[in-house]
Every structure is written in C-alpha cells, then in structure tokens.
Structure 1
Amino acid sequence: MTTKATLLAVTIDCADPKKLAEFYHAVTGLPVTYAEDDYAAVGDGTTSIYFGRVPDREPVPWPSSAKQFHLDFRVPDVDKAVEEYVGLGATKPDFQPGVTGEGVGWVVLLDPEGHAFCVCPEAS
C-alpha cells in the first residue's frame, strides 16, 4: 500500500515574498504567519500558501500551455471580488475561458507577480 501524504502547503516562486503574502492575506483573510525578504507565508494551521524569493522569475503569459498551476478561490459575489482584487493589484486578462453565453462561471485574474488564479462562484 502507498504511504498517504498530507498536503502541507503550496509554495509559489516570486520576486517579493512579503508583498505577495500581503496580497493573498487580503484576498483570503489567512493571516501572514511569516514574512522575511526571502520567504513568507499565509495560513491558518491547516491551509497554507508559502512564497519563496526567486529574483529572476519571469511570469508566464496568459493564456499559455507553459502555465504550471493556478489557484481557485470561491467567493459569494464574483464581480465584487474581481473589482476588489484588481484594486489590490491583480490584473484581469482579456482571455476569460469561464465566461460563456450563459454568463460568468469564473474569472481568471493575475496576481501582482503574474500568477494566474480563478475567482469562482459559490457552489449552488
């Protein structure tokens, strides 16, 4: 039998860990649990996002098959959340695969360092 692992955290490479931790703190409400120049974290003891400094990291263009991951967040009001997150420094790219003829399913945003994340409606 395979030994089962428990996910500890997701670590995101970035140029400014403290700045990105503050951004995701504002988006998620998770407290900043560590903040240094080379490493920072937000989390609540069960869910954590870590940020590691990689000074020469280049953002992957959106859309791109080179994208390696993205985060998904549920919110009660997608339009309001998008407006707020853009106000915090996110950007909204033109290509939006979650928008259909039936309306918005989800919205793709890019955080201040260009990592994609999706803003998803609450499950109905």
Structure 2
Amino acid sequence: MSFKAKWNRDKLAKKREKGFRGYPVATVAFYGPDDKRASKVSVGIIPAEGSDVAEVERWNSDTSDVRNDAGIVEAVLCFVELHGAKTIVGVDRIIGCPHEEGLDYPEGQACQKCSYWAGRDRWSGVVTQG
C-alpha cells in the first residue's frame, strides 16, 4: 500500500473514531464478495437529525481493495468534505455482498455471485442458516 493510500485510510479512520460531532453525518459502508476484500464502498450523507439520506455515492473496484486504494479513499474524503459532514459513522470491516438485492439478483434470495454471504449475518459474520 502506498504512503498516500495509508494516509488517506488513516485520516478516514480518525474522523470515524471521533464519534458524533454534529450534522451532516456521512455513513461509510464497505462491501465485498467475502470478508477479505472490499470491492465497493458506499457513502451516504444525512443532512439533519430525522432526515433520510440525501446524497449517496458508490465506488467499485474489480481488482483492488477499495479500503487500500488511494484514489478511492481520497474520493470518499472529498465527497464527505464537499457535503460538509461533521461526523463519519461506519465500521472498518466488510458488511455484506456488493451486489444490490432487487437490482443484481432477485428480492428475498441470496446473491449467486457471493456465496460467502449466503446464510451469514452481515454484522457479525456468523453463519445463521445452513
């Protein structure tokens, strides 16, 4: 990983670790075909308490882990700054399949491309059904 990639990743992590600092809030979520490589990051902006997500941006990579991709992490930071987010929330792990239910595969079914996540709790990673 390049120095710039590590610096950007650490900057994002430090902002997340500061806790709630006010609105707008940026939500950052990582997705991947398994729990090892994040192939997608999704960032949403919640402008005020009680409001829905107003802006969403997604970045994908077929080859790199988006958490370690200097260009993608820099773009995430720019998006967050562009929208004036005072708080960043999220977890530093992959929380599910990068494909979207209802768009990339049928509602109520498991993704055919990401068998790792079938029957698995996306927050704990524990297999919940066989």
User: Same fold per TM (> 0.5)?
Assistant: no
Q: With structure 2 as the length reference, what TM-score do the two structures score?
A: 0.26
Q: With structure 1 as the length reference, what TM-score do the two structures score?
A: 0.27
Higher strand share: 1
Structure with larger RCO (C-alpha < 8 A, sep 6+): 2
